[in-house]
Amino acid sequence: MPVPLLDLKRDVVAHRDEYLSAIARVVDSGTFILGPEVEAFEAAFASFLGAKHCVCVNNGTSALYAAYLALGIGPGDEVIVPANTFIATAEAASMTGATPVFVDIDSATHHLDVQDLDRVVTPRTKVVAVVHLFGMAADVAVVKAWADPRGIVVVEDTAQAHGAILADGQKAGTAGAIGCFSFYPTKNLGAFGEGGAAVTDDDALAERLRAIRAHGATTQNRHETFGTNLRMEAFQGALLGVRLLRLAAAAERRRSIAARYRAGLAGIPVALPPDVGARHVFHLFVVTTDRRDALKEHLASRGIGSAIHYPTACPDQPVYASRGIAGTCPNATAAAARILSLPMFAEMTDVEVDEVIDGVRSFFLA
């Protein structure tokens, strides 16, 4: 039986009427950019996270870009970024004119290796970006304990971890100065197109973020700061509001799928994601094996989808490797050759999960 890596249509089919009535509300309102629907979602998402402010933008990359700009990052500054992340964490820093500096990852968690921070810090370091990769809340408190005394600001890239709980009980995205979210359709909280948000408890930062997303305007036609057009469309706000209501239940289902994988893959020579309860919302279920490419092929031959997040560590990407930094984060380079994301989405059936387990077991036990 084929099993897709992800199937976005199942949720849409199940809740079609709710989505269509949200769309109709926007059509009837005649307000298509920002406005009451986006404001209502901002309030709901801030309350869900326990954050004071939520500023919605047009995608997750924009959330990071606006966050770095709001913190005053620009040419001459350095932003520390974990070597295994989606390129946007680094790219948004480059867009401000700053330089992303890559820190290696911890091979067990795939999060930034706090032990490696001293190697990469310089007097120009202004920000360290913590990425809650794969949906697992990283240990922000430990990074803050390193960063705070140095006057370095922590930004959380929470694009993959909506609702994940940090070790101290706070939601991921609310412990650093600014938390950045993506609502790309495949994310745990996905829009029907592009979307993103930056959240913060700091009133002044929130005001700057709001200005940056609208051409730097603080009031109409008054531009006090540099900005651009990063505004969210009203359709996305209305639809995200509907999806937010089911986010916690979907995370629970993802954790139960992960538990089923964990039980079914016990004794198989693959490293499984850490078992950390509500710290993980399993945006992705990533296993690690030296035989990754052959396993991927074997699963494909059975019609089972899989993917690699990400096949090349950021410092090894041509756009950054041209700086002569390829290979400077060996754990990330090694992980990129060994990681494989198995099918994971809340609407997956247990039968499908068992099919994937059977596919992986048949590869190793053949």
Identify the CA nearest to 144 among candidates 114, 123, 165: 114
Taking CB under 6 A as the rule, does residue 125 contact ligand PLP? no
Taking CB under 6 A as the rule, does residue 286 contact ligand PLP? no
- Footprint of ligand PLP on 41-80 (CB under 6 A): 59-61
DSSP calls for 114-181:
GGGHHHH--TTEEEEEEE-GGGBPP-HHHHHHHHGGGTPEEEEE-TT-TTPBPTTSPBTTSSSSEEEE
Taking CB under 6 A as the rule, does residue 273 contact ligand PLP? no
Q: Which residues pair with 341 in a beta bridge?
A: 286, 307
Closest approach of ligand PLP to the CB of residue 354, in Å: 28
* Interacting span for ligand PLP (CB under 6 A) from 47-55, 85-93, 98-106, 225-233: 85-93
Taking CB under 6 A as the rule, does residue 236 contact ligand PLP? no
132-160: b (≥16 Cβ within 10 Å) or e: bbbbbbbbbeebbebbeeeebbbbbbbbb
What's the CA gap between 19 and 186, in Å, rounded? 17
Closest approach of ligand PLP to the CB of residue 363, in Å: 27
Closest approach of ligand PLP to the CB of residue 133, in Å: 7
Strand order in the sheet with 78-82: 53-57, 196-200, 178-182, 153-157, 125-131, 78-82, 99-103
Closest approach of ligand PLP to the CB of residue 187, in Å: 7
Taking CB under 6 A as the rule, does residue 173 contact ligand PLP? no
- Footprint of ligand PLP on 179-198 (CB under 6 A): 182, 184, 196
Does residue 184 have a cis peptide bond before it, meaning omega lies within 30 degrees of 0? no
Identify the CA nearest to 340 among candidates 289, 279, 269, 297: 289
Closest approach of ligand PLP to the CB of residue 309, in Å: 8
Closest approach of ligand PLP to the CB of residue 16, in Å: 24
Q: Determine contact, residues 134/307, Cβ cutoff 8 Å.
A: no
Q: What Å distances lie between residue 169 and 50, 63, 128, 172, 329, CA to CA?
A: 11, 24, 22, 9, 31
* Interacting span for ligand PLP (CB under 6 A) from 136-144, 156-164, 325-333, 350-358: 156-164
Residue from the set 131, 238, 257, 329 that interacts with ligand PLP by CB under 6 A? 131
Q: Determine contact, residues 332/83, Cβ cutoff 8 Å.
A: yes
Count of residues that interact with ligand PLP, criterion CB under 6 A:
14
Closest approach of ligand PLP to the CB of residue 203, in Å: 25
* Interacting span for ligand PLP (CB under 6 A) from 3-11, 152-160, 234-242, 260-268: 152-160
Closest approach of ligand PLP to the CB of residue 132, in Å: 8
Residue from the set 45, 65, 86, 134 that interacts with ligand PLP by CB under 6 A? 86
Name the residues that contact ligand PLP, by CB under 6 A: 59-61, 85-86, 88-89, 131, 157, 159-160, 182, 184, 196
